[in-house]
Amino acid sequence: MPADCPLLPVKGMVLRALHGPLFLLASFLLPSLAFSESSQSPQSPPPSTLLGVAHIGGLYSFSTRDYLNEGAEAAQAIGARCIKVSLSLDTENPSTKLYAPHSEWPVVDSLAALADTPHFRELFGRDFDTFILNAFRPGRPASYWREGFSPEDEKAEEECFESLALHLLRTHAGTRKTFILQNWEGDWALRGSFDPAARPAPAATAAMIRWLAARQRGVARARDRFATGGARVYHACEVNLVRQAQVQGAPGVTTDVLPHVAVDLVSYSAWDTKDSPAHFAEALAFIAKHKPRTEPFGRHGVYVGEFGLPESEASPELVLERTSALLAEARRFGCPYAVFWQLYCNEPVRKPAKANSDFKGFWLIRPDGTRSPVCQLFKEKMPATR
């Protein structure tokens, strides 16, 4: 989401400089993270770009049912086959906060247990092909690793994501559903601020490499342990400041982290190129250039985790036109997914925010219940890309 979004901040600026050399762990990590011959051999990705929608922390609702599934039902009614939500127990923006309206959340102490709560069981039982999940382990800020990442933290991350992935594989065996576990906008997390001019500390970069590698190992171990069943679980790293790395050579996740961790997928939160389909296409190619290829996605291991245009910046007609153009580029590039931001807007421009004009306009459904023209894209049949 855009950097000024108030709902999902990367809290806790870097309070002190972390010292120590930057250990680029490629020689150690890459062999251990690649799919082994004994690993689960998932089916190939969909033959076309699957258009999805995010439902994370919106600021209005239209019913008294639990907020997570109200949004999921609305997304299905629009025609979405892919949905992006938060499945997180971090201390800043846990799912219990983002989906609080009309919801009763039991106290749980693991992501696997959160995925097994009634609200998530209902969500995962819905007729979506793919669930993209912003996931952070319990009891820590989402980007705690930037301040220090101990061997104990590394072990806890790996075990947490192994447990979650194993739960999803076992519980949804036979469904052929896909689950993607990802972080949120890694370049902001790496910097500890929403200042694109900030430069990441070398120690933070090294910690992020180890953090992502631990999450990836956990997911890969779960696939090894449950090698059949039909459901698929992948791990992704989300990047967002791609254009400045490409044009200015600025350090960031794409150039300084991705080459050293063989994640299954990379998600691009595409706000730095939203005004130029040409730059957007260039950014996708730049990301793919720096991502080690992993099976089963190969050269198609980059998807669009967030994209769109708010109606506060453009007419509904222009929003549709621009979104269509960006989607066409994603399809041309071979992205397996492109996720529109978002279902209900989570960014007010004034408070109390009630009317359409009180919001920035990131939506498929407005506060007054009317729909954005972008909804029609979910009804269109996508041509095959590969």
Residue-wise pLDDT tens digits, 56-70: 999 999 999 999 999
pLDDT at 227: 84
Above 60 in pLDDT, residue 272? yes
Mean pLDDT, residues 348-357: 96
At residue 47, the pLDDT reads 53
- Spatial CA neighbour of 310 closest among 293, 297, 322, 296: 322
Cα–Cα distance measured from residue 39 to residue 36, given in angstroms and rounded to the nearest whole number: 5
The stretches of the chain forming alpha helices (DSSP H) are: 26-33, 67-78, 95-98, 111-115, 118-124, 151-171, 186-191, 202-225, 242-248, 253-256, 277-290, 316-333
- What's residue 19's pLDDT? 33
Q: Whole-angstrom Cα distance, residue 218 to residue 102?
A: 33
Mean pLDDT, rounded, of the chain: 89
For residue 355, how far is the Cα from the chain centroid?
29
Closest CA to 251 of 290, 214, 213: 290
pLDDT (tens digit, 9 = 90+) per residue, 117-157?
999 999 999 999 999 999 999 999 999 999 999 999 999 99
Is 370 strand, coil or helix?
coil
pLDDT attached to residue 228: 81
| 323-334 tens-digit pLDDT | 999 999 999 999
Which residue has better confidence, 15 or 46? 46
pLDDT at 48: 87
With contact defined as beta carbons under 8 Å apart, do 177 and 119 qualify? no
Summarised one tens digit per residue, pLDDT across range 177-197 is 999 999 999 999 999 999 999
Comparing 229 with 165, which gets the higher pLDDT? 165
Q: What is the pLDDT of residue 110?
A: 98
Instruction: Give the fold, CATH level 3, of 28-379.
Output: TIM Barrel (3.20.20)
Overall residue count recorded for the chain in this entry: 386
In whole angstroms, give the CA distance from residue 120 to residue 72. Answer: 11
The pLDDT of residue 381 is 59
User: 201-217: per-residue pLDDT in tens?
Assistant: 999 999 999 999 999 99
For 364, the token pair is: 């498929």
CA distance 234 to 42: 10
354-to-61, 274, 345 alpha-carbon distances in Å: 11, 27, 11
Residue 40: what pLDDT? 38
Q: Is the pLDDT of residue 90 over 60?
A: yes
* pLDDT one-digit tens code per residue, 288-323: 999 999 999 999 999 999 999 999 999 999 999 999
**Percentage of residues in the chain having pLDDT higher than 70:** 86
Q: Name the pLDDT band for 21 (thresholds 50, 70, 90).
A: very low
Best CA proximity match to 335, nearest among 161, 4, 145, 82:
82
Quote the pLDDT of residue 32. 35
Kindly give the interhelix angle for 277-290 and 316-333, rounded to the nearest 10 degrees: 30
Q: Which residue has the higher pLDDT, 93 or 8?
A: 93
pLDDT band per the 50, 70, 90 thresholds, residue 244: very high
Nearest Cα residue to 266 out of 277, 245, 318: 245
Q: Give the pLDDT confidence score for residue 178 in this predicted structure.
A: 98
Rounded-to-integer distance, Cα 60 and Cα 295, Å? 40
Name which of 55, 129, 146 is nearest 364 in CA terms: 55
Q: Looking at residue 2, what is its pLDDT? A: 65
124: Cα separation from own chain's centroid: 17
Mean pLDDT of 93-110: 97
